Amino acid sequence: MSVKFDRFLYGGDYNPDQWLEYPEILSEDIRLMKKAHINTVSLGIFAWAKLEPEDGVYDFDWMEEIIDRLYENGISVNLATPSGARPHWLADKYPEVLRVNEARQRDLFGVRHNHCYTSPVYREKVRSMNQALAKRFDGHPGVILWHISNEYTGECHCPLCQQAFRDWVKERYHTIDEVNRRWNTSFWSHDYQNFDQIESPSPSRGEFSIHGLTLDWRRFVSHQTTDFCRMEVEALREAGAVKPVTTNMFYTNSFVNYYELADAVDVILWDSYPLWHKGPETLTAVNSGMQHDVMRGMKREPFLLMESCPGPTNWVPVSKLKRPGMLETASLQAIAHGSDSVLYFQIRKGRGGFEKLHGAVIDHYGKEDDRVYQECRQVGADLEALSAMNHAKVEASVAVIYDWENRWAIEESAGPRNENMYYREAVEKSWYAFRKQGVNMDVIDMTRTLDPYQVVAAPMVYMFRPGFAGRLREFVNRGGTLIMTYWSGVADENDLCFLGGTPGGLMDVMGLRSTEIDALYEGESNTVKSLDSDAVYSCEHLCQLVDLRTAKTLYVYGEDFYAGTPALTVNRYGEGLAYYVCADAEQAFYDDVYAKILREAGVRRILEQEIPDGVAVSSRQSGDAEYIFVQNYNSTPVAFVPRAEGGRVVFGEAGEEMRPFSTVVIEKNC
């Protein structure tokens, strides 16, 4: 299923329920929205208390009135199920809906995201609400999408969850002996005698040293959250809803494996809050751009940008204003990477509460002569100008592996650097090195197919999930170019270390055995030196030592007792090549090595030019048109004139230089 709307969605979260005592506000908001080209709002995300003021009593009339008013004005609705925050009466009447923390204390009512995803009562209340909403609103022509709950996250350790976890473990391993074997519980004499003894980890009061348990607990939490989401979707469908469903994700969530949750919804929707103007913009752009590619990679389809902030974000340590042009650039970055929307949190700034100072399209001030409003209006105009590329695809022949379960395993494990393993940073280095060459790229996890790709980077694939090693072998064998790094293939899916040598099962493909890994203190470094040239780069954090078998050495270490031993190797296997990067080298190393690898693998670059630092190039394709996005993230002008043969500039200006925070779009045939 590919979810396509008739235009780029533009708008954001809207909470007229917080303004019911100001009847003039709704009219004024609609006027301001239309003027700003807003065509879509998300409604009802935190409206449960207003939708069901007491148990079983629904009040939907006010919502319908608002949807009607919006629809009459050409504004569509992304309608939320309100399970993201339950009403007070629900927690009072059914305390089981509140979470229990790892110290085994039940939460009080408050904040949000503190409801148990296992609780039968909570599931039943949500199911009934969703069915009622579906019956009333799915048929409304103004409703175009169901926004399931809000930013699912967190975990619960209540007795209901403990039992569900036991059941999940039993379903997975069948016998307690198998659990003991898979979790290696005999270490520290933790052998289980029966399933009833299994409890979730508890750093403050109990167990946290069995990595097999901690890892499976994180899997269970993700599973249970996804199961809750599926229940919400089923409730809508059972009540006859036919509109597509989605749920909003956020990049740093460590509780839910989004590649798993992705399968429960029709289209990916996510919330993006990059810290622009903190440090070099270009690095923020890397982080933000990779996030877009993660989200798109889940389904290899266009996605939706749900929440983004038109002004300063109020809950970060320092709320910087967005410099002029930054909002437009950030919004178009989403489009460039495959989004079919630009949506904000939020349309109108709330008067009180935790996010009352969060940027919004309409300020407390409430009038048009406001810088942020004017910039939002410009973005609305841009999206209308770019409407031809709505739902265009991003075609990538390069992929980087980024895997939630691998991240959990690296985080939970003890050693070689408990301070920081820099997993995400390692992925970003590979991502950025590819991007600098102007190629599109998918970010995928270990469960996804490698068939579409010519080149795959697999940084720090510590844990080989089932089937992954086989897919890598096959990928190289049929002619692909694989780049694997240090700290790969150490453990299986239960975090049990491979015996007999690593990377486990792939020593022949890589042509080497990784032996020891040296961890460096912060501030320490080593170097890696080319054997063919005088290139030297620094490296830090982790240095893997290897014993060569069939691989050939390209770089060696420059210092310490392993000076002269391999730091970058390549091995021919089948029709393909397998590179092994031994150390956490600086970005420039990746840039230079990956450029060469892409060239040798014959990967097509979007532009044939050298791309200056801080300028990003990406593209979307629709029919026989390719839309090439060129963005300058530097806060200074850059001398660069993008040239694509047969292309024409359809957005922005391609003059002698690119202005700071500016975008040029070129359309050409492909």
Q: How many angstroms separate the CA atoms of 653 and 658, rounded?
A: 8
* Residue 369: CB minimum distance to its own copies, A: 8
Please report, as residue ranges, which positions from 119 to 178 form the binding site for its own copies (by CB under 8 A): none
Cβ proximity to its own copies, 274 vs 642, nearer residue: 274
Which residues have a Cβ under 8 Å from the Cβ of 619 and sit 6 or more positions away?
Answer: 336, 394, 395, 440, 606, 626, 627, 628, 629
Cis peptide before 503 (omega within 30 of 0): yes
Q: Are 451 and 605 in contact (CB under 8 A)?
A: no
Residue 112 beta carbon to its own copies: minimum distance, rounded to whole angstroms: 5
Query: Quick one: 234 or 547, whose CB is closer to its own copies?
Result: 547
Q: Name the minimum Å distance from CB 199 to its own copies.
A: 6
Site size with its own copies, rule: CB under 8 A = 111
Q: Measured from the CB atom, is 15 or 481 closer to its own copies?
A: 15
DSSP for residue 616:
E
Report d(CA 540, CA 645) in Å as an integer: 42
Distance CA 646, CA 626 (A): 11
Whole-angstrom Cα distance, residue 498 to residue 492?
A: 7
Sign of CA dihedral 41, 47, 48, 54: negative
Q: Which stretch binds its own copies (CB under 8 A): 285-293, 512-520, 568-576, 650-658?
A: 512-520
Among 291, 494, 527, 618, binds its own copies (CB under 8 A): 494
Which stretch in 237-245, 313-321, 330-338, 392-400 sits in contact with its own copies by CB under 8 A?
Answer: 313-321
- Find the binder of its own copies among 416, 574, 612, 637 (CB under 8 A): 416
Which member of 52, 151, 301, 493 is catalytic?
Answer: 151
Interacting residues with its own copies between 334 and 353 (CB under 8 A): 349-353
Please identify which residue in the block is written with the tokens 């940084």: 459
Nearer to its own copies, 155 or 293 (CB): 155
Using the minimum distance from each CB to its own copies, give the nearer residue, 319 or 397: 319
Nearest CA to 389 among 604, 628, 605? Answer: 628
* Contact flag: residue 56 with its own copies (CB under 8 A): no
Instruction: Give the shortest CB-538-to-its own copies separation in angstroms.
Output: 17
Contact, 433 vs 587, CB < 8 A? yes
Among 28, 138, 234, 370, the residue binding its own copies under the rule CB under 8 A is 370
Q: For its own copies, which stretch binds (CB under 8 A), given 108-116, 138-146, 402-410, 439-447?
A: 108-116
- Bridge-based pairing of strands 245-246 and 143-147 is parallel
User: Can 307 be counted among the known catalytic residues?
Assistant: yes
Does the annotation count 151 as an active-site position? Answer: yes
- How many Å is the Cα radius of gyration of the chain? 26
Candidate ranges 49-57, 126-134, 602-610, 615-623; the one touching its own copies (CB under 8 A): 49-57
CB 545 within 8 A of CB 552: no
Of the candidate residues 174, 371, 572, 599, the single one contacting its own copies (CB under 8 A):
371
**C-beta closer to its own copies: residue 90 or 628:** 90
Is position 202 an interface residue for its own copies (rule: CB under 8 A)?
yes
> Per CB under 8 A, which of residues 417..456 are in contact with its own copies?
417-419
Selected binder of its own copies within 314, 397, 550, 609 (CB under 8 A): 314
CA distance 516 to 135: 61
Q: Does 209 bind its own copies (CB under 8 A)?
A: yes
Which residue in 278, 572, 596, 599 binds its own copies (CB under 8 A)?
A: 278
Residues 187 and 197: their CA atoms lie apart, in Å, by 16
Does residue 24 interact with its own copies by CB under 8 A? no
Q: 85 or 654: whose CB is closer to its own copies? A: 85
Closest distance to its own copies from the beta carbon of 475 (Å): 26
Q: Which is nearer to its own copies, 242 or 318 (CB)?
A: 318
Contact between 373 and 362 under an 8 Å Cβ cutoff? The reply is: yes
643 binds its own copies (CB under 8 A): no
Stretch that binds its own copies, among 45-53, 393-401, 572-580, 594-602 (CB under 8 A): 45-53
Cβ neighbours for 71, distance < 8 A, ≥ 6 positions apart: 77, 140, 141, 142
**Amino acid (1-letter code) at residue 211:** H
Length of the chain: 670
Q: How far is the CB of 197 from its own copies (least distance, A)?
A: 5
**323 vs 500: CA distance, rounded Å:** 56
Cα separation values, 52 from 59, 114, 147, 281, Å? 6, 19, 18, 45
Identify which of residues 1 and 414 has a Cβ nearer to its own copies in the complex: 414
Q: Classify strands 341-344 and 9-14 as parallel, antiparallel or unpaired.
A: parallel
Site for its own copies in 228-267 (CB under 8 A): none
Distance CA 596, CA 86 (A): 54
Task: Select from 513, 552, 659, 668 the one that contacts its own copies (CB under 8 A).
Answer: 513
Residue 246 phi/psi, 5-degree rounding, is: -155, 170
Binder to its own copies among 34, 69, 73, 101 (CB under 8 A)?
A: 101
Per the listing, tokens 């409304």 go with: 140
Which span sits near its own copies by CB under 8 A: 300-308, 382-390, 439-447, 518-526? 518-526
Question: Segment contacting its own copies (CB under 8 A): 100-108, 135-143, 331-339, 526-534?
Answer: 100-108
CB of 33 to its own copies, least distance (A): 18
Strands (E), 59-159: 76-80, 143-147
Q: Is 312 in the site for its own copies (CB under 8 A)?
A: yes
Catalytic residue among 96, 307, 405, 626: 307
Q: Interface with its own copies by CB under 8 A: which range of 116-124, 258-266, 498-506, 662-670?
A: 498-506
Buried b (16+ CB within 10 A) or exposed e, 630-662: bbbbbeeebebebebeebebbbbebeeebbbbb
- One of 31, 35, 64, 316 touching its own copies (CB under 8 A): 316
DSSP state of 498: P
Q: Which is nearer to its own copies, 89 or 255 (CB)?
A: 89
Q: By CB under 8 A, is residue 318 in contact with its own copies? A: yes
Determine if 481 is a binding residue for its own copies (CB under 8 A).
no
Query: Token pair 């999408």 is at which residue?
Result: 145
Q: Are 158 and 255 in contact (CB under 8 A)?
A: no
Of residues 372, 409, 427, 615, which one binds its own copies by CB under 8 A?
372
User: Of 94 and 208, which CB lies nearer to its own copies in the complex structure?
Assistant: 208
Residue of 358, 436, 448, 620 interacting with its own copies (CB under 8 A): 358
Tell me if 183 contacts its own copies by CB under 8 A.
Answer: yes
Cα 13 to Cα 131: distance, rounded to the nearest angstrom: 22
Contact between residue 578 and residue 476 where contact means Cβ atoms under 8 Å apart: yes
CA distance 447 to 442: 13
CA distance 589 to 601: 18
Q: Which stretch binds its own copies (CB under 8 A): 58-66, 187-195, 258-266, 645-653?
A: 187-195
User: Which residues does the annotation mark as catalytic?
Assistant: 151, 307
